[in-house]
């Protein structure tokens, strides 16, 4: 009989919220700096967002081995691996900026993906020992930790932009943009990893009740479960569309005549919108169900695209990115909750690793497409920005269709007589 300890879960949630806030600050910093640094170092403007794509690609290729590693060695061990990867990635990227090497910037971005993958498992760690009633709230609270990172990260970015100087011949100093960002991220990872010492999570290879884990279903068997399949599809679409638009935003804002600091403020508003709803998303899921909250998220994402297509004034960018953040929160937190309810505790390593591999695989494609759509689909920032927002349509239809199929399938099964 599986036992739950929500008091223990609340302690872990507090630690994970702090980790999400402190270490997570590097993500909004990188999503501004990496694209602009790529634009500075790349010889082809179509590859400007490639550093961001490499971060997500690193996360995609990390999830399949990091999740089983956590299953065997424990969550804490995996989180330390993630923070070390983040520090190594930032150091490599910083050296790439120092010597103007686009290749090293990309390599560092790939190692940063190890951190991004580990951060993605914070939400699952919160659910490991939670009761069914508290699980959506635990996931939501951990996601809410990103609220502080949304404030801290962009503001720290403003302080360290253009502050590192490289001595040249004749005693002349030339500011190297974005180098300070990566040096600050090294410190965030090395200091922030100490928080994981305070976690009290279930032991590796055991369920929350401490019993030995039975055999897990294969990945293909997991995908034949309609709930798991739809949860993964909705998670993929929610995260991919958020990444598609957010990756292009700094390039679009600066390209339309606004400053890098204004791009920082828009990203900050976006990340706030991503995480403020997390204070009540879990309660909404408990009351209305995950599928309805996911549906609301998809509708809000569609509204973000409509606002983006209405113009390129500063207000349009703010409103579109705020709606994008809220839509992502409802869609992604809802999909995470739906997935967590559809697999057994002993299957979490395989199911969650499969989920994040597929989610971040699609996010990688989205971030790659973002740069191409923004810089190479019309010749102007306005036409590029419009192309990015139009590209959301087919994926919203895919996720919406998947939800309808799951609902109809569930009603059909419920209507069938037992036995």
Indicate if the pLDDT at residue 76 is higher than 80: yes
C-beta of residue 82 within 8 angstroms of C-beta of residue 196: no
Q: What average pLDDT does the segment 130-156 reach?
A: 80
Residue 380 DSSP one-character state: S
Tens of pLDDT, residue by residue over 22-71, are: 999 998 889 878 888 888 888 887 787 789 889 989 988 998 899 889 88
Q: What average pLDDT does the segment 278-285 reach?
A: 86
Tally of residues, the chain = 419
pLDDT range class, residue 94, cuts 50, 70, 90: very high
- Residue 311 to residue 69: CA distance in whole angstroms: 47
Any domain includes 172: yes
Q: What average pLDDT does the segment 182-200 reach?
A: 94
Whole-number percent of the chain with pLDDT over 70: 90
CA 242 to chain centre: 9
Q: What average pLDDT does the segment 211-239 reach?
A: 83
Any domain includes 174: yes
Indicate if the pLDDT at residue 242 is higher than 90: yes
Q: Which of 333, 350, 338, 409 is nearest to 145 (CA)?
A: 333
Any domain includes 204: no
Give φ, ψ of 212 to 5 degrees: -60, 140
167 beta partners? 173
Any domain includes 1: no
Any domain includes 259: yes
C-beta of residue 248 within 8 angstroms of C-beta of residue 386: no
The pLDDT, as a whole number, for residue 197 is: 93
- Residue 279 to residue 187: CA distance in whole angstroms: 28
C-beta of residue 78 within 8 angstroms of C-beta of residue 396: no
Any domain includes 177: yes
165 beta partners? 175
Indicate if the pLDDT at residue 209 is higher than 50: no
Higher per-residue pLDDT: 161 or 182: 182
331 Cβ contact partners less than 8 Å away, ≥ 6 residues apart: 234, 235, 237, 238, 294, 297, 298, 301, 399
Give φ, ψ of 8 to 5 degrees: -65, -40
Indicate if the pLDDT at residue 415 is higher than 60: no
Structural domains counted in the chain: 1
Three-state DSSP at 212 gives strand
The pLDDT, as a whole number, for residue 298 is: 97
Indicate if the pLDDT at residue 138 is higher than 60: yes
Indicate if the pLDDT at residue 1 is higher than 50: no
The whole domain housing 180 covers: 6-196+217-415
CA 277 to chain centre: 15
The pLDDT, as a whole number, for residue 393 is: 94
260 Cβ contact partners less than 8 Å away, ≥ 6 residues apart: 32, 36, 161, 250, 254
Write the CATH number for 39: 1.20.1250.20
Question: Which of 150-164, 184-198, 375-389 is the least confident region?
Answer: 150-164
Task: Indicate if the alpha-carbon torsion angle 249, 45, 384, 59 is positive or negative.
Answer: negative
First to last CA, the chain: 26
pLDDT range class, residue 419, cuts 50, 70, 90: very low
311 Cβ contact partners less than 8 Å away, ≥ 6 residues apart: none
Any domain includes 66: yes
Q: What average pLDDT does the segment 74-93 reach?
A: 95
Per-residue tokens: 186: 């090294």
pTM equals 0.75
The pLDDT, as a whole number, for residue 168 is: 56
The pLDDT, as a whole number, for residue 169 is: 53
Q: What average pLDDT does the segment 396-415 reach?
A: 85
**Range 236-248 burial, b when 16+ CB lie within 10 A, else e:** bbbbbbbbbbbbb
Question: Which of 108-112, 275-279, 384-388 is the least confident region?
Answer: 275-279
Give φ, ψ of 327 to 5 degrees: -60, -40
- Radius of gyration (Cα) for the chain, nearest Å? 21
Tens of pLDDT, residue by residue over 335-378, are: 988 998 887 777 777 888 888 889 888 888 887 788 788 887 77
- Kindly report the average pLDDT of the chain as a whole number: 85
pLDDT range class, residue 164, cuts 50, 70, 90: low
Indicate if the pLDDT at residue 131 is higher than 80: no
C-beta of residue 238 within 8 angstroms of C-beta of residue 217: no
Q: CA 11, 15, 20 angle in degrees (round to 5)? A: 140
Any domain includes 206: no
The pLDDT, as a whole number, for residue 26 is: 93
Q: What average pLDDT does the segment 207-218 reach?
A: 58
Indicate if the pLDDT at residue 112 is higher than 70: yes
CA 367 vs CA 89, 225, 269, 407: distances in Å: 18, 29, 20, 31
- Residue 117 to residue 67: CA distance in whole angstroms: 9
Q: What average pLDDT does the segment 99-112 reach?
A: 95
């Amino acid at each position: 009989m599986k036992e739950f300890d929500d008091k223990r879960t609340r302690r872990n949630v507090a630690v994970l919220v702090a980790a999400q806030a402190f270490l997570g600050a590097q993500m909004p910093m990188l999503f501004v700096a990496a694209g602009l640094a790529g634009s500075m170092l790349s010889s082809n403007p179509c590859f400007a967002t490639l550093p961001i794509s490499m971060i997500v690609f690193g996360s995609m290729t990390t999830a399949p081995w990091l999740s089983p590693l956590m299953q065997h060695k424990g969550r804490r061990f995996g989180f330390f691996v993630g923070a070390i990867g983040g520090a190594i990635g930032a150091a490599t990227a910083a050296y790439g900026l120092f010597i103007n090497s686009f290749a090293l910037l990309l390599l560092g971005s790939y190692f940063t993906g190890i951190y991004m993958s580990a951060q993605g498992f914070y939400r699952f760690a919160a659910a490991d020992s939670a009761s069914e009633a508290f699980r959506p709230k635990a996931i939501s609270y951990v996601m809410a930790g990103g609220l502080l990172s949304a404030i801290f990260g962009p503001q720290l970015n403003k302080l360290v932009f253009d502050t590192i100087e490289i001595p040249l011949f004749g005693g002349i100093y030339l500011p190297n943009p974005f180098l300070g960002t990566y040096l600050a991220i090294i410190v965030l990872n090395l200091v922030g990893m100490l928080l994981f010492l305070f976690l009290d999570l279930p032991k590796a290879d055991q369920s929350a009740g401490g019993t030995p884990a039975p055999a897990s279903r294969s990945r293909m068997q997991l995908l034949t479960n309609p709930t798991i399949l739809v949860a993964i599809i909705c998670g993929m679409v929610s995260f991919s569309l958020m990444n598609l638009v957010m990756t292009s935003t700094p390039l679009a804002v600066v390209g339309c005549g606004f400053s890098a600091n204004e791009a920082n403020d828009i990203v900050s508003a976006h990340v706030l919108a991503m995480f403020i709803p997390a204070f009540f998303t879990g309660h909404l899921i408990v009351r209305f169900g995950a599928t309805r909250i996911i549906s609301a998220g998809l509708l809000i994402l569609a509204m973000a695209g409509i606002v983006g297509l209405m113009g390129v004034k500063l207000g349009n960018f703010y409103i579109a990115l705020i709606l994008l953040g809220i839509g992502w929160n409802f869609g992604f937190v809802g999909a995470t909750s739906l997935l967590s309810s559809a697999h057994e505790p002993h299957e979490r390593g395989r199911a969650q690793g499969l989920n994040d591999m597929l989610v971040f695989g699609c996010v990688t494609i989205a971030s790659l497409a973002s740069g191409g759509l923004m810089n190479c689909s019309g010749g102007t920032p306005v036409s590029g920005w419009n192309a990015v927002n139009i590209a959301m349509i087919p994926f919203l239809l895919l996720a919406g269709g998947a939800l309808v199929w799951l609902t109809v399938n569930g009603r059909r099964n419920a209507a069938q007589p037992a036995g």
